Amino acid sequence: MKARPGQVKYGSTGTGAVVHVGMASFEAAAGVKGLHVPYQGIAPVLNDLMSGTIDISQSGSPVPEGLKALASAGTKRNPEFPNVPTLEEAGIKGATWDVWWGFFAPPNLPKPIADRLIAEITAVTKDPAAIAKYKAAVKFEPEANPLTGEAFKKSVLEDNQKWKAVVEREKISIE
C-alpha cells in the first residue's frame, strides 16, 4: 500500500461499517492509503478477494480456504492462526481492535426479565455442549468474558468513542 498509494483496493461490508472503519484505522496507523470498495455484506467481499478483484480486506472467522491471513487486528493472536502476528507485532501500532458480541434489549425492559436473560446467556457461555458447537463452527474455542450492567455499558461507550474518533478523523459518512 505504501508503494502504490490509493491503488490497492480494499473491500468493506459497506461505507461506515466496522470493516471500513477498521481499515481506515489501519491506514492511519500504518501511514498508507488504499482505495475503498464498499460492498453489502462480507460474502461479496470474500468472493471478490478470492477472485482478485480486490486486494485486501478484514474478516473474522471462519475464513474461506485459500485466503492468506496476513495479521490479526486483535490485541492477541487468533487461536485459529497461531503463527499469524498481530498488527502490533508486525510493527503497526494503534490499529488494534477486539471483536466482541453483546446482547441488547429495549431500554424499558423490566429488570426481572433482563436479569433472567443475563443469567441464561451467561449459562450458555459456560455450557460445554454450546462451547463444542461454537468450536466446531469456527474452529476455535470462544473466549467468554461476560460483562453485564454498568461494566458492559462502560465498555460499549468506550468502544463507541474510539470508533467515533476514527469516523470523525477520516470524515467517514455512515450510509
Average pLDDT over residues 151-165: 91
pLDDT-above-90 percentage for the chain: 53
Contacts of 78 (CB under 8 A, 6+ apart): 61, 69, 72, 84, 140
Cis upstream peptide for 64 (omega within 30°): no
Which residue did the predictor score with more confidence, 22 or 100?
Answer: 22
Q: What would the pLDDT profile of 65-109 be if each residue is shown by its tens digit?
A: 889 989 999 888 888 889 999 999 999 998 888 878 888 999 999
Whether 45 contacts 56, CB under 8 Å: no
The predicted structure's pLDDT at residue 136: 85
Name which of 48, 47, 45 is nearest 58 in CA terms.
Answer: 45
Average pLDDT over residues 26-44: 94
Which residue did the predictor score with more confidence, 53 or 103?
Answer: 53
Asked if the model's pLDDT at residue 32 lies above 90, the reply is yes
CA 9 – CA 34 distance, rounded (Å): 6
Average pLDDT, the chain: 89
The CATH class of the 9-99+160-170 domain is: alpha beta
Which residue did the predictor score with more confidence, 87 or 175?
Answer: 87
Q: At 12, give phi and psi (nearest 5°).
A: -135, 170
Asked if the model's pLDDT at residue 135 lies above 90, the reply is no
CA 59 – CA 17 distance, rounded (Å): 12
Asked if the model's pLDDT at residue 144 lies above 80, the reply is no
**Helix (H/G/I), strand (E/B), else coil: 52:** coil
Distance of CA 147 to the CA centre of its chain: 18
Could you state, in order of their start, the residue ranges of all structural domains in the chain? 9-99+160-170, 111-144
pLDDT bin (cut points 50, 70, 90) of residue 175 is: low
